[in-house]
Structure 1
């Protein structure tokens, strides 16, 4: 998300948040599952990754800076074009029943559950004048859902890449980013930005994507963790995003109020030097929200600078400061996230923070490879002692963006 750092839509239906991640199917296996279902080989197989936001939370909709990277967990789609107006879709989740839709009657009412993601992308492309007729599609994803890792954007970007190739539309990666965002906004109903889709489409292996959410300008920043014997551990707390509580909307409203009172277009235009004056103009809660955004934007810029100089082993304090700001000023953490961060730091992590929209989801920890087992074991023990559900802990590395794989 993002820009999007909002919780994933609870109405998505793909898959149920908290559901176990299925076993990985390689491109040939995805193709074989397609063939077994639809009776012919697919025209191709495309994949797109989920993402971790290394730093820069809730800065997106304030027209600020973010620094995500694609992870080595992906959504894969196998697609074959048909000669009629029928779309048949199957996912590897749920009851594995084929969903059939007449594209001539495609509307918000016919795009429901998990199909809202692929059909939403098709609907947007057709609205843009891209000629897409009937098709068969099989979807498989290993991006955990409800964990703040952008499982929905991975689906959208894989589908957008597939139909961009199959239709010969020739859309650029930046244009496909906006296709995915529009599908989220207008079909799924999640008012997200461009962070997630940008990470999924623009990433390359061993790099993060430094994104200016005001201009959509981006550049790749080296993030070669392996060269320094580092890894990023994701701690999925299994606490799903509490979207229905309105916490995300309230934070966004506070930011908009802060910008209005301070007389700026967006909080991107407020500098750290302006904060003392802002404290006298804003109520205490709104000021704390503003302070997080302003300092978080600066932390993104500082992280990019440190990566270019000292390298990834030196960014830990920035990650940890980001978590403290989200916990204390933006107030979007939760006991499970705080425990994951504190325990990881106590067991050898160089830095740790919650990632994603907050109110649940995942924390990330920058960990020397030699300390991985200690950090994992420490977090598992701490969660058990606190009576929390067992977390899912796994390592991720900066991966390649969306592409055709078969």
Structure 2
């Protein structure tokens, strides 16, 4: 914690420049400084604070899923990375038992810490995440109290970059720094984020999003034991390999898709339950194939196909991670395309059930395939059904690719990102 005056002085002297460059993966440092200045002034305005107020700066990145589409909730493996878009917050204790969280452009969230647990009227809302994070950390024995936080974000909502996980990790980093003396490690903060999303928010998500955001860099994660995920950090330099990571907004709307997302783990767990197991990781593909007629009759074909996707994509994670570490980008790209095909054919998270006129994700994939002209790789990104696709574009055709894609899918729809080496972080204070 430091006074706002001291923070502004340090910012002007350039003492935060290297940290800001790391968080943003380069870029114009003056723009990064201006963003921090505007953030702190937003905090002062929102909460009526002068320049003698003591504050901390904290950040949590969005994430990109590279392989392992809907494998984490079945205790499978995933390959993911933090990206250079983040939630950035200015925060300070307020001496009460009420958390006030203001995200720029959104209404102020106020949550009183009363120990009441999840509230039905807060389901699928930011207050649910705030309450869930605070309650869980308090339950671990830490003296959680009220705080004020003002945040800005360029993690695009509905982009598949998991703005919700970034928000959860940000809240976890704030609570950890203000009330836990930074005792919680990155994986624990991720697990708390998943708990808040599952139990308080009401979305049955896995643990990949929060872990990638919290840990940072590129990571292969094995969730065989979700209480103790095995995290394998990797050094990945896409630029050196000659590729850009692009996230393309399909223009599809995430609204009313919670049931579609929830149906995927339900289908998979249904198959596992037939064998007396909790999740598909406890089975093999051979188990499913040996009992295919009975499973089709009991659960229908979609559930069986989704199970087959799990086994294939779970194995692909290991192969993709090995290819990246060995610098074998041709194999990596071939596996990315395999994962994309499996998501479309077996997992079926490209088009919502019954949709005929609106198939924006499928159109975006078709446009990317055409623009790549046989090079690079493309796949669905994140949960599917709406939002974005992921494309690895050769650097020598990046301008041409954007020029071909954006007139068809919308100006500004193609976002060129970098892998951020740092996860949830205390930036200053």
TM-score normalised over the length of structure 2: 0.80
Q: How does 1:55-66 map to 2 (within 5 A)?
A: 55-66=67-78
Work out the CA distance in 1 between the residues paired with 2:54 and 2:70.
Answer: 39
Mean CA deviation greater in 238-247 or 37-46? 238-247
Question: Which residue of the other structure, out of 285, 304, 307, is the alignment partner of 1:287?
Answer: 304
Structure 1 residue 248, shift from structure 2 partner? 2.4
Question: Which residue of the other structure, out of 220, 223, 228, is the alignment partner of 1:210?
Answer: 220
Report whether the alignment pairs 1:251 with 2:264: yes
Report whether the alignment pairs 1:315 with 2:332: yes
Aligned residues: 374
- Corresponding residue SS for 1:374: helix
Q: Can you give the 5+ residue segments of structure 1 that lack an aligned partner in the other structure?
A: 1-22, 384-388
Q: How does 1:1-400 map to 2 (within 5 A)?
A: 26-38=35-47, 39-40=49-50, 41-94=53-106, 97-104=107-114, 108-109=118-119, 113-169=125-181, 170-204=183-217, 208-215=218-225, 216-241=229-254, 243-244=256-257, 246-262=259-275, 264-272=277-285, 276-283=289-296, 284-334=301-351, 335-348=359-372, 349-383=375-409, 392-399=413-420, 400=422
Change (3 A) 1:42 1:396: farther
- Corresponding residue SS for 2:144: coil
Change (3 A) 1:392 1:106: farther
Structure 1 residue 275, shift from structure 2 partner? 5.7
- Corresponding residue SS for 2:406: helix
Q: Deviations over 1:253-279 (max 9, x none)?
A: 221222233555432244455564243
Work out the CA distance in 1 between the residues paired with 2:45 and 2:264.
Answer: 47
Structure 1 match to 2:21: none
Q: Deviations over 1:357-395 (max 9, x none)?
A: 111111000111111122222222443xxxxx6672101
Change (3 A) 1:260 1:331: same
Work out the CA distance in 2 between the residues paired with 1:301 and 1:243.
Answer: 34
Q: 2:64 touches 2:161 (CA, 8 Å); kept in 1?
A: yes
Q: 1:229 touches 1:369 (CA, 8 Å); kept in 2?
A: yes
- Corresponding residue SS for 2:347: coil
Mean CA deviation greater in 185-194 or 32-41? 32-41
Structure 1 match to 2:14: none
Work out the CA distance in 2 between the residues paired with 1:390 and 1:70.
Answer: 25
- Corresponding residue SS for 1:405: strand
Structure 1 residue 85, shift from structure 2 partner? 2.5
Q: Deviations over 1:309-336 (max 9, x none)?
A: 2433531121111111111112110332
Work out the CA distance in 2 between the residues paired with 1:281 and 1:310.
Answer: 43
Change (3 A) 1:361 1:278: farther
Change (3 A) 1:372 1:275: farther
Work out the CA distance in 1 between the residues paired with 2:110 and 2:294.
Answer: 56
